[in-house]
Amino acid sequence: MEYSAREIADFLQGKIEGDQDVKVTQISKIEEASAGTMTFLANPAYTPFVYKTGASIVLVQDDFVPEQEIRATLIRVQDPYGALAKLLELYQKSLPKKEGVSDLAFISHNAEVHESAYIGAFAYIGNNVKLGKNVKIYPHCFIDDFVTIADNTILYSGVKVYNSCRIGSDCTIHANAVIGADGFGFAPQTDNNYKKVAQIGNVVIEDLVEIGAGTTIDRATMGSTTIKKGVKLDNLIQIGHNAVIGENTVMAAQAGVAGSSKIGKNCMIGGQAGISGHLTIGDDVKMAAQAGVPSSIKDGQIIMGSPAMEASQYRKAFIYFRNFEKLVKRIDELEKEIRKQKE
């Protein structure tokens, strides 16, 4: 693909400074860009690179004021990062589309597969499965009995969806994610053994959800584990049985949610955060990376640390954590001095 600065500016409704006819064929990082590529400046920390970048076109904030001469053509937009996202989406749509059903796929005789669906080689489509319009099932996926997948959803290679789970429209599930494996339910016995509790529920994933590679979402013991509309889950996340993740909540890699916890809408959860079971996390909560959450959190709180506490409280306490060795030494010295005075 090749686009001129004029075409890009028209698409983004931006303002050009420089050569309107310069053309680009690729998008690159500002510190690594070369001629014929386009880049963007969204983070002020990267401003020095804009003066020496080899890119032909740079997207910048509409109020950006250069302090030196810039060789590249600038396109001023309100939000450079958002504008880049639009361009990447345009590029992705231009790529060849996966179509058809492979002769090497297995499709049950009573599965309902829309004629526009794509099913790759060695995919397995079980009994009474329903696949909507433009669903894409990449090679080596396993779709168990009674699963429903709505329109425009993509399952990349190796995704496993256990029986009776439901996936909404416009979802993306990346490679090797597992949807609907048994929840971690075991009843302790008097002989110190554990008896497995049957997990007879399912997983319900609503519309516009994205799930990263290797993420696992356990089926409910009874009822449903629910991922609400607009949720974005990173790679290698664990969601326990009967958990609920609220609308438009985002979670970074390696976070974990134990069984039956309910997370509100519009939350932001950092990498490796751990949330104990049977908790209620309010709306608009933000958790720093590696937060350990043992108790419920009210709406709008910002928490960090393990055990987690309000961020402002944690930062104050951290001053003492950092100087703990010095404080102990001072206490030891004071105790020695007190003993001398007593003697």
Q: List, for residues 279-307, the tens digit of each pLDDT value.
A: 999 999 999 999 999 999 999 999 999 88
- Return d(Cα 194, Cα 130) in angstroms, integer: 37
- 109, 174, 241, 278: the catalytic one is 241
189 and 69 in one domain? no
| Whether residue 140 lies in the annotated active site | no
* Alpha carbons within 13 A on the beta-carbon side of 63: 3
Output the domain CATH number for residue 245.
Answer: 2.160.10.10
Q: Give residue 188's pLDDT.
A: 93
Dist CA 278 CA 74 (whole Å)? 52
For residues 239 and 320, membership in a common domain is answered with no
Residue with tokens 């001053």: 319
Q: Which domain holds residue 273?
A: 159-307
Q: Say whether both 298 and 186 belong to one domain.
A: yes
Which of 46, 70, 94 is the last residue in one of the domains?
Answer: 94
In a domain, 47, yes or no: yes
Cis peptide before 307 (omega within 30 of 0): yes
Q: What is the pLDDT of residue 258?
A: 97
> How many domains does the structure of the chain reveal?
3
Residues of the chain below pLDDT 70 = none
CATH number for the domain that contains residue 9: 3.40.1390.10
Q: What is the pLDDT of residues 142-188, one digit of tens each?
A: 999 999 999 999 999 999 999 999 999 999 999 999 999 999 999 99
What are the backbone dihedrals phi and psi of residue 108, each rounded to the nearest 5 degrees, phi first? -60, 150
